Amino acid sequence: MYKIMFVCLGNICRSPMAELLLRDMVEKAGREKDFLIASSATSGENVFNGVGAPVYGPIRDLLEKKGVSCVGKRAQMLTAKHGDEFDLFLCMDESNVRNARRILGEKNADKCKKLLSYAGEKGDVADPWFTRDFNAAYEDIKRGLEGLLQSLQ
Ligand code: 4NP
């Protein structure tokens, strides 16, 4: 089984989009039994008294137009314990990789990679919370996920 955790800063835009899209792709391919998929944040901005915020409205609208529901997804923080539970921490940008390695410790450093490396690219998935370009984030994430699935055939 592939145990994959997507990581971004807030866990309300990019990493939940990656989580929900990969789950949808895997289900359509009939491979859901082969995967454990989750997402989390390196910052606590969107978790209040232990309760996570839902997926950000514009991301939810974009995904729902593509037939992907965000119901039930709530932000959670990445913790050291996740290091024992997941094989791969696919981060949206360089700072996520740095922060994930800090949270997960040296022994898990090699499990932390940028998602776009699976598309053969060196770049980051820019944060649409700041850029407001939700489609660019979607296109980047989709390319990364397609490369990821090909590598896990
Ligand atoms: P994300 O975007 O890392 O793609 O979920 C962000 C969403 C919210 C915040 C930061 C980044 N925030 O600071 O609230």
Supply the pTM of this predicted model.
0.98
Tell me, in angstroms, the distance from the centre of ligand 1 to residue 46's CA. Answer: 8
Task: Say if CB 90 and CB 100 are below 8 A apart.
Answer: no
Q: What is the CATH number of domain 2-151?
A: 3.40.50.2300
Q: Is the dihedral of CA 130, 136, 142, 145 positive or negative?
A: negative
Residue 54 has pLDDT above 90, yes or no: yes
User: Pairing relation of β-strands 35-41 and 51-52?
Assistant: unpaired
Residue 22 has pLDDT above 90, yes or no: yes
Catalytic: which of 93, 112, 124, 127?
127
Residue 132 neighbours by CB under 8 Å, 6+ apart: none
- The 10s digit of each residue's pLDDT in 110-128 is 999 999 999 999 999 999 9
Ligand 1, pocket-test mutation among 40, 46, 94, 133, most atoms within 8 A of CB: 46
Task: Say if CB 9 and CB 98 are below 8 A apart.
Answer: no
Tell me, in angstroms, the distance from the centre of ligand 1 to residue 8's CA. Answer: 8
